[in-house]
Chain A
Amino acid sequence: MTKNSDGSVTSAFPMPAIHRRDLLALGAGGLLAASGVGSARAQTKPAPPPPAKPTGQVVVGLSQEPTAFNPLMPGIEVDETVWMQIFNTLWVADPQGNLIPDLAVEIPSEANGGISEGGLAWKVKLRDGVTWHDGTPFTAEDVKYTLELIVAPGFKSRTRVGHALVKDIKVTGPREISWRMEKAYAPYLALLSNTYIVPKHILEKAADPNTAPFNGAPVGTGPFKWGTRTPGDNIQLVANEKFHGKGPYLERAVLKYVPDRTALYAQFRTGQVDLIIGTGIPANFYAEAVKLPGRKVVKIPSASLEILMPNLEHPVLKEKAVRQALYASINKQAIIDIIYYGLHIPTESFAPQESWAYNPNLPKQTYDLALANKILDDAGWKRSGSGTRMKNGVPLEFAVSTTTGAALREQCQQLMMQDWAQVGVKMTINNMPAAVIWGEFYTRSKFDSLIVGTAFRTVIDPDPAHRFGSDAIPAKSGAGANQMQWQNAEADKLMKAGQETFDQAKRKEIYFKLQELVREELPILPIYQYAPVEGYKEGLIGYEPNVNARQNTWNMGSWYWAR
């Protein structure tokens, strides 16, 4: 945790400074939190054995509604709660970041011959004895169909990143498939861990896979089968007793949608929902929630980062010194400890701290208004009569935008505004509804700066090329997701090298360097890495937070109730 010495700062800038005493009072949640991390698995007693046949039900509370059920079509994170139960991928990532075979029998690598010719030829052996929910056996044809459907013209697939490089897909046996890649692309392994395999025998019969009945009543190979859906309220899944893996031990799983996070928490408190996952328990209820009897409440790791994203084509923000001064005058500690009740983890990197590629040696940001003033003075920004700095007739002024109605972010903005005003920076707030802000305003880089929660990796692979590459600027090339419009030749070189090698030690070195570069250049101003709060009823066994899964229902097949 970033420590700032309070004394001197307090006297100079009385308002936002935090006294240690207050920190103790207010940060109590944070302390509890620290002890709470990972306690999900630290069961005091050895867990009782799972039931012989699926019994009981679990009600999972979600603050967004899953609505997309074809796992290859556009969806948001919450839709994965359903996909994970109905479908399987070739392999999944465990909490430590290891890939575990699921529909495949082993992870292809250069060592086992699955990947050869420097990453251009791939071969995957598939598991035997897997059946679709309707009883049809699962074969390599399904995998081939899935990979081809993703790039089929006219099919509304969610993403073709990586898949577009695949060609010459060959079924070399009922349980074996091979293909070639147009170029070596290491992140494809990670992408496949998020590519759900769909049944050929059902979808190929549909006139148009975009509107197939399958999309409203999916059939997969996963631990749970599609049950019923009450739109706007809940989805019920039932146990697939023929599941090829561990479990399922629950007879039924209900995914309950409660549109408001406060209301969702209230229902968790009263026991109407057994778990809250995803967006989780609101920060302001954390301290209260950990004291709830019969409930386990845990801070879970998440790969998402909260950042201030500057537009590097903005006349003021394009200057590195300005970004450094702004960064030095963000009171991260106040933001995290007070606005977010000590939940989140300050970070300097674009990579999540759980990743093998995370560089822990980056310089720590400190809240230092004197330093910020000095940087701006040195860079030639002079204070004008109104208190706002000027340089060559340009005032040091910009807007920070975020989604309307995000109350805690709004509090953050107002705190930043007050801090930055003290170093002669005039910040305005320009918030918009989600559908507007994340539209062209964001994707075509029409903003000054944004507060956004996002990730800079490819599924679980550390490769951030689509976020940082100079060929990935949507406003310029119509591709990628480099909305801050960062262009840096050295970064480009590093990211290209990182994609081409499968050697983790070499890649680690590359991404360490990239993180140093990003920390120095500040194309993004990292504020914190998310540590949302999830909670579950005591007696639920098997729940295990996984930073490498999109949702913590990733292993719901092996959940059960202690009796």
Chain B
Amino acid sequence: MSLEPTLDALPIRAEGFWNGRGMRRFRRHKLAVFGAVTIILMTLACVIGPWLLPYSDTFIDIRQRFAPPFAGSHVLGTDPLGRDVLARLLMAGRISLAVGFCAMVLAMGIGIAVGVAAGFYEGVIGAALMRFVDAMLCFPTIFLLLAISALIQPSVPSIVMLIAMTSWMEVARVVEAQIRSLRTREFAQAAVAMGSSNMRIMVRELLPNAIAPIVVAATLNVAHAILAESYISFLGYGIQPPTPSWGNMLENAQSYLTSAPWLAIIPGAAITLAVTSFNFVGDGLRDALDPRMDLP
């Protein structure tokens, strides 16, 4: 489970002179390419797939309930209401991938804003912001997710917000560290000397130079968000029916584990595949963009 920020950003340090750094890069590259291709294929399948299928994801045919996979016209079987699992899986993919992406954008937005501000305004503002970040990180992620989920009504936008609210802190830390080191550099000092406004310095000068870690964090964040969605659903606070998501397809899977195990296995495998792919890409990007980069 890579829900915790300390796990998302693993420092991969080892650099050797005799090594096959090229080898390592190549291998990581292969995995990253595999991840990217998988993501593209999954996205395409989720976008186009539902149009090609004979069944809609909400078509209830109660006589066909619990049809096993590969047995009849339902390729991946049917669920307790007789809906086509493949159709639901693909529609759910749309939702889950969209939730992952939107939550990432929101989390990055908050994280970058807080990180840049904290890194730029050293002193009281910076310290206050970073203590807030530290305090938020004192909550184990799932505990925080559960506590905040009490606040909201489960819907797609609110789940996106919920996930973003629990995953922006690590981004803020990364960005803050970058900005803090960048602002003492010559180009930043020069901009100050030229009388640029603070906002301009932050957005035009500092931020573009911190883009590498941000891109890596963003990729890993998508993986995190997809996982988080499944956890919230499993614990009963997820996206509500009839909208399918990979998480809520799993919600009741436990009670059908003996009689209809495919209901648990198929969406779980989809989540694992998607999250692994994003993690591969994030790892590869980290290597490609900045091999020396050392995330906290």
Contacts and interface: CB of A to CB of B under 8 A. Distances in A.
Contact of A15 (B60, B154, B241, B252): B60
A435 B153 CA distance: 12
Contact of B241 (A261, A288, A429): A429
A175 B169 CA distance: 68
Contact of A262 (B58, B237, B254): B254
Contacts of B240: 404, 410, 429-431
Contacts of A432: 153-154
A432 B238 CA distance: 10
Contact of A284 (B62, B149, B259): B259
28 contacts: A18-B62, A18-B63, A19-B63, A261-B255, A263-B254, A285-B255, A288-B259, A339-B80, A404-B154, A404-B236, A404-B237, A405-B251, A407-B80, A407-B251, A407-B252, A413-B241, A414-B58, A414-B81, A417-B242, A418-B58, A429-B242, A430-B240, A431-B240, A431-B241, A433-B149, A433-B154, A433-B236, A435-B150
B257 interface: yes
| Secondary structure call for the B interface | loop
Contact of A338 (B62, B236, B255): B62
Contacts of B236: 404-405, 433
A411 interface: yes
Given A16-B60, A338-B62, A262 B241 contact: no
B229 to A, nearest CB: 14
A344 to B, nearest CB: 16
A262 B255 contact: yes
Interface string A413-439: 111011000000000011111011000
Contact of B62 (A16, A263, A410): A16
A222 B95 CA distance: 55
Contacts of B254: 260, 262-263
Chain A interface size band reads: 20 to 34
Q: What are the 8 closest A-B residue pairs judged by CB atoms, nearest first?
A: A405-B236, A407-B252, A262-B255, A431-B240, A410-B241, A22-B63, A338-B62, A262-B254
Given A260-B254, A430-B153, 14 more contacts: A15-B59, A16-B60, A16-B62, A282-B255, A284-B259, A338-B62, A339-B80, A405-B236, A407-B80, A413-B241, A414-B60, A417-B242, A433-B237, A436-B153
B61 interface: yes
Interface string B236-258: 11101110000000011011110
Interface in A4-31: 15-16, 18-19, 22
B180 interface: no
B238 to A, nearest CB: 8
Contacts of B61: 15
A414 B256 CA distance: 19
Interface in B255-275: 255-257, 259
A415 B60 contact: yes
A195 to B, nearest CB: 34
A561 to B, nearest CB: 29
A418 B62 CA distance: 12
Contacts, number: 72
A413 B60 CA distance: 12
Nearest to B81: A411
Nearest to A404: B236
B149 A414 contact: no
A15 B62 CA distance: 8
Nearest to B151: A436
Contacts of A431: 154, 240-241
A338 B65 contact: yes
Contacts of B58: 414, 418
A62 to B, nearest CB: 17
A89 B136 CA distance: 50
B230 to A, nearest CB: 14
A368 B271 CA distance: 42
Contact of B80 (A262, A288, A411, A430): A411
A475 interface: no
Contacts of B80: 284, 339, 407, 411
Contacts of B65: 338
A330 to B, nearest CB: 14
Contacts of B60: 15-16, 414-415, 418
B62 A414 contact: no
A284 B255 contact: yes
A268 to B, nearest CB: 13
Contacts of A362: none
A400 to B, nearest CB: 11
Given A404-B236, A405-B236, A433-B236, A284 B241 contact: no
Nearest to B149: A433
B244 to A, nearest CB: 11
Interface string B17-60: 00000000000000000000000000000000000000000111
A116 to B, nearest CB: 53
A262 B264 CA distance: 14
B241 A414 contact: yes
B151 to A, nearest CB: 9
Nearest to A338: B62
Contacts of B154: 404, 431-433
B237 to A, nearest CB: 6
Contacts of A435: 150
Interface in A387-422: 404-405, 407, 410-411, 413-415, 417-418
Nearest to A418: B60
Contact of B150 (A18, A262, A407, A433): A433
A260 B149 CA distance: 20
A334 interface: yes
Nearest to B241: A410
B256 A334 contact: no
Contacts of A418: 58, 60
Contacts of B242: 414, 417, 429
A401 to B, nearest CB: 10
Contacts of B81: 411, 414-415
A365 B60 CA distance: 23
A436 B150 contact: yes
B187 to A, nearest CB: 51
A430 B154 CA distance: 8
A309 B34 CA distance: 52
Interface string B53-97: 000001111110100000000000000110000000000000000
Interface string A254-273: 00000011110000000000
Contacts of B62: 16, 18, 334, 338, 415
Nearest to A435: B150
A43 B166 CA distance: 58
B149 to A, nearest CB: 7
Interface string B209-242: 0000000000000000000000000001110111
B63 A407 contact: no
A349 to B, nearest CB: 27
Interface string A500-530: 0000000000000000000000000000000
Nearest to A412: B81
